[in-house]
Structure formats: C-alpha cells, structure tokens
Structure 1
Amino acid sequence: MSETLEILQDNLGKALWDTFFMVGVATLVGVVLGTALAVLLYLTQHRLFTPNHAVNEMVGFVVNAIRSMPFLILLVVLIPLIQLLIGDPYTPTGGAIALSIAAVPFFARVAESAFQEVDEGLLEAAISTGAPLRQIIFGAIFPQALPSYIRGIVLTIISLLGYSAMVGTIGAGGIGDLAIQYGYNRYETGVLVAIVLLLIVLVQVIQWVGDRIAVRVTH
C-alpha cells in the first residue's frame, strides 16, 4: 500500500495534467472542426438549403472512414504522420494530435444529429422572412439544437477521456501511461484500482455538469 501511495504521489499529478492537456486540445479541435463539418453535412443534405449529393457523400465518406477505425489502430497508423509533424509521437502533444483527428469526425456526426432535431417549421419560417443563411444558422439552428449539442460535447469529452487512456499504450503520457507502466508492467494492482476509480469519478462529474448545463439551455 505504501508503495502504491508513493507511486501515485510522485506521478499522478503529471499524468492528470497530460491527460487534461490531451483531452482539452482534442475537444477544442474536435468541436470547432467537427461543427464546421456538421454544418456542411447538414446544409448539403437538407431540402430547405442547398442540397449537394456529391459533396455530402464525399465528406460523409471521409468522416465515416475515420470513425470506422478503432482508436488504437488509428493511433498506430497516425504515428508516422505525427512523427513528421512534431518529431516525437510518443509525447502528450503527439497524443493530442491523434485524439484531435479522432475527435473531429466523431463530433461531426454528433453535431449533425443535433441539427437534425431542429423543427423544419421553424426553419421554413426563418427562410420565408428572407433571413440570410448565417442568421438562420446562428439564430435558429444552433439555439434549437443547443441542448443536444452540449450533450454531444459531453459525450465527446468522455469518449476522449477513454481514448486518452489508450494513448498510454504507446507511452505518450497521461493516466493510461501510468496504469501501463506501474499497474500492469510492475504488477501494482493498487495503482490500477486507483486509476479506475479516478476515471469513474471524472466521468460522473463531467456527465453531471454537462447535464446541468443542457437543462439550463433547454427551451
């Protein structure tokens, strides 16, 4: 027990910081770029806007192709690219890049699903007033989709938290790396138990905060 506590005391702080860094960067990139892709997918398939089957199919294919790959396989495939970009892929920065690439198509589909829930009657009313597309997107679509959109962000953060643990399998840092190095390789069961409990607590807190925010913005 004393050895477990010593390992956690010496390494848990940095492992948590690395995890928060990777998940934070990936969430930001995933939400920004994923939202842009979601808007493009939504507008190119919706009958009230500018349907473009070719663009929708092409973007949808790329999104689905990346999403279809298990993250661990995607991580291995991305190692040469990350090495080309930053030199050393086995760092939290390398992990953040891999997580970001996984987050973008994941959140794109989540956000697109949220936009699909917007009432068409509201959109028809907005279009009939002659409102420009930008105003319709930010004045009608986003406000109505906001509760589901926020829940999608929460889902993305929780998924990325799980993915970040897999980054530890290649030694890129984070709590997954801590679990592999000490809990698995050194047979410190206490470290594994502590990390599992910590992940459970983190997920519960993230979900609770996200649900409260979603309820507040529900119209």
Structure 2
Amino acid sequence: MNSILITGCNRGLGLGLVKALNALPQPPQHLFTTCRNREQATELQDLAKKYSNIHILEIDLRNFDAYDKLIADIEAITKDKGLNVLFNNAGVSPKSVRIGATKHQDLLDTLQTNTVVPIMMAKACLPLLKKASTANEDQPMGVGRAAIINMSSILGSIQSNVQGAMYGYRTSKAALNAATKSLSIDLQAQKIMCISLHPGWVRTDMGGSSAPLDVTTSTEQMVQTLIQMGEKHNGGFYQYDGEQLPW
C-alpha cells in the first residue's frame, strides 16, 4: 500500500490500526489519519512525531462541506498515485438500546455517523481510488491496488441477531453492509475492492471492559486479513480473522 486513509484515529481501533500498519515490514508510505480535535488526540500526535508517514487531518466527518479540502490535502501529497485504501473506521454507539428507551435523535445521529458518513467518504475519495487503481493496474484487486474497507459489526448481521435491541447501532451497521455490497458492484469495473469488516468484540470505550479481545490483537489480525484479500472477497462481510459472516 502506498497510501491509506483511516477515519477516527484519536483512540480505540483507529489508533490501533495506525500502530499495526506501522509495525509491518513495509508500512504504507502515507498514512492519513482523521480526528475531530487534533489537540485532544495526544497519542496520535506522539505517533506522528515518531513516524514521518503519518499525516493528521482534523475534520468533523459530519461536516460534508469539509470533504473537498480533505481530498485536496491528500491529493497534494499522493499526487498522481492516488489513494490505495479508504478505511471507514469512525463510528458511534447510542446509549439507548431497548425499544422503550430508543430516541429518534439517537437513531438519526447514529445512522449519520455509521452509514451516511462512510458512503459520502467513499464518494469523495472515489477519484483518488480510481487514480490508484489505474496506477497499479498490474496488481490484482486488493489493498495493494485500491479498496474501500467499511468497519462494520456482527451486530449488523440480521441473520445472527438473536438478542434484539440496539436499534440505532444494529440498523446503521446493517445499512452500511448494504452500502458495501452496492459499492462492490458499482466499482467492480474499476477493480476497487469493497468489503465490510467486523473487528470482533474489542476492549475499547465502545466495546467495554468485558470484551474478550484487546485492540492490538484485533487490529494486527485485521491488517493481515486485509493484505490477503482479493477479488473473491469483494462485496463480502468478514471477521477480523478472515471468517465470512452471515448477512
């Protein structure tokens, strides 16, 4: 990978992905990381001081008018090489989970961040992804050429839902999975791989302290899984270790 853009890197899985990618024998030449508040992203800033390939881009992803500048900033660095990977990682989980406590604003906010933002980011990054795919036409479909990775969740699986509740989070991730499938069809001709990825139940602010996986284990396995994925995985829904998940 020459370049990768990861959203939501101030903490948790996004920050873990930055560390895992820089631990590779050949890290990406450019690692674009987003956060809402640069000053508060102290650990990300420390990493950027240590690794010259990390670029911190401050943006509120719900401000769609700011996307043009984000893309321009990336293009100024990657030039004719484009962007190899968009990793839509940023997400939220509402506190209200049961139907009786569900609030309409929670639903709207969650759908905007978890579904609308990744779709609009894919749209904004498409010219750069197409440029990367063309520049690497000798490479097979995959992250070494051009790809969109959407951070989903097993909670977005309709078939696996046996516990109910979590209306905002479940519906937003199920909708994201539907978007991934459409992207994989629409971008097939451009050889841009599109997949949904479940990180596992991870000990983060969102996952909670009782989760069985730590961030390092999840993110390192996700990176290794993505490196091995190709055309046969396009449009699929997978776990961090490569296991295919039911829709």
Which structure: greater strand fraction? 2
Select the structure of larger CA radius of gyration: 1
- TM-score norm. by structure 2 comes to 0.27
Which structure: greater helix fraction? 1
